[in-house]
Amino acid sequence: MQLRSLGQTGLRVSRLGLGTMTWGRDTDEHEARDQLIAFAEAGGTLVDTAASYGDGAAEELIGSLIGDVVARDEVVLATKAGLVRRGDSRRIDTSRGHLLPALDRSLKRLGVDHVDLWQVHVWSDRTPLEETLQALDLAVTSGRASYVGISNYTGWQTAHAATWQSAVPGRVRLASTQVQYNLLNRGVEHEVLPAAAALGLGVLAWSPLAGGVLTGKYRGGTPADSRAADPWFASRVENYLDSFGRGVVEAVARAADGLGWTPLEVSLAWLRDRPGVTAPILGARTAAQLRAALAVEELTLPPEIVLALDDVSEE
């Protein structure tokens, strides 16, 4: 798999990443092992997780597989802190007092002495930005993280954080931002992507298939084993099943038919090669689904198809 630089850093990552949001919750240890094997065999390196995924269970699963399925130096480990989940409850804490101990717990669960990329999971108005960013500085200077980034920041928040880090002497520059981005949700193109480009941040895109909607699986209804049938994911998927979403999905399906591809491949190829995108983060339920997504590595959309999809998906 081709590698790309993460922003203006020396960190090189695979241009498709492996997401682990459901690991330890819906994805058990056997399925997780199969997914990581498939990802590594395809040349993938970027494994993205978070302290909140499965309340730490995802990190524990990854930790149990490193050194067994893959060597530590064969993966780029990325995790996040700042979002705390307990069952159905959700709490945001981006204070230095929470973030640094959370990183230590992540390292323990992962079984490593450092992560390659540590990200603030969400923005918080309750904590001064300088305090949050200071935690990122300390993570790097203490050797617990090699690079740092942000996640789910708006355009002005991205610019504010990145400018502060690059302008103040002694600060550690941000490497990346992680945002939701796909053919059905292109809002980040207005402010976030221009800010990232201007300030040298790599972009990691989560939900690249809009919860599976862009695979075309919901064109004839809701499959019983799909994410839309899962109460935890249902609202995310339903947001895309409006007239606009159906129109985009039909356009993707027509492009796929014409190319002899799958809708999944069309949607992923479009996103992977968008200006500024370093890597989409793939979250699959099964290893078979992941292998199908990884097959896009060999494909490149014709320019005329890209333009047609740009036009039909423009909001």
Question: Can you read off the two tokens belonging to residue 144?
Answer: 């617990």
Question: Can you read off the two tokens belonging to residue 36?
Answer: 């990581």
pLDDT at 96 over 80: yes
pLDDT on residue 234: 63
Task: Enumerate long-range contacts of 306-310, CB under 8 Å, 24 or more apart.
Answer: 306/270, 306/273, 308/251, 308/255, 309/183, 309/248, 309/251, 309/252, 309/255, 309/266, 309/270
Exposed (0-12), middle (13-18) or buried (19+): which is 314, by Cβ within 10 Å? exposed
Amino acid symbol at 114: H
**Mean pLDDT, the chain, integer:** 94
Average pLDDT of 186-215?
97
Cβ(115)–Cβ(144) below 8 Å: yes
Q: In this predicted model, what pLDDT tens digit does every residue of 10-38 receive, in sequence order? A: 999 999 999 999 999 999 999 999 999 99
pLDDT at 227 over 60: no
pLDDT band with cut points at 50, 70 and 90 for residue 135: very high
Amino acid symbol at 135: A
Q: In this predicted model, what pLDDT tens digit does every residue of 146-187 receive, in sequence order? A: 999 999 999 999 999 999 999 989 899 999 999 999 999 999
Question: Can you read off the two tokens belonging to residue 281?
Answer: 């983060």
pLDDT band with cut points at 50, 70 and 90 for residue 85: confident
For the chain, which domains are there?
3-211+271-299 (3.20.20.100)
pLDDT at 103 over 80: yes
pLDDT on residue 225: 59
Question: Can you read off the two tokens belonging to residue 238?
Answer: 């339903």
Question: Can you read off the two tokens belonging to residue 90?
Answer: 């959700």
pLDDT on residue 230: 62
Q: Which residues are part of the catalytic machinery? A: 53
pLDDT at 214 over 60: yes
Per DSSP, what are the bridge partners of residue 178?
151, 204
pLDDT band with cut points at 50, 70 and 90 for residue 87: low
**CB count in 10 Å sphere of residue 109:** 20
Average pLDDT of 132-145?
98
Question: Can you read off the two tokens belonging to residue 274?
Answer: 């968008």
pLDDT band with cut points at 50, 70 and 90 for residue 41: very high
pLDDT at 226 over 60: no
φ/ψ bin of 11: left (φ > 0), alpha (ψ from -120 to 50), beta (otherwise): beta
- Which residues are CB-contacts of 153 (< 8 A; sequence separation ≥ 6)? 123, 161, 177, 179, 192
Average pLDDT of 128-135?
97
Instruction: Give the residue from 198, 99, 228, 105 showing the smallest Cα distance to 151.
Output: 99
pLDDT on residue 79: 98
pLDDT on residue 219: 82
Whole-number percent of the chain with pLDDT over 90: 89
Cβ(53)–Cβ(81) below 8 Å: no
- Which residues are CB-contacts of 257 (< 8 A; sequence separation ≥ 6)? none
The three-state (H, E, C) secondary structure of 134-174, written as one string: HHHHHHHHCCCEEEEEEECCCHHHHHHHHHHHHHCCCCCCC
Cα–Cα distance measured from residue 302 to residue 145, given in angstroms and rounded to the nearest whole number: 39
pLDDT on residue 253: 97
Average pLDDT of 115-143?
98
Measured in Å, how far apart are the chain's first and last C-alpha atoms?
32
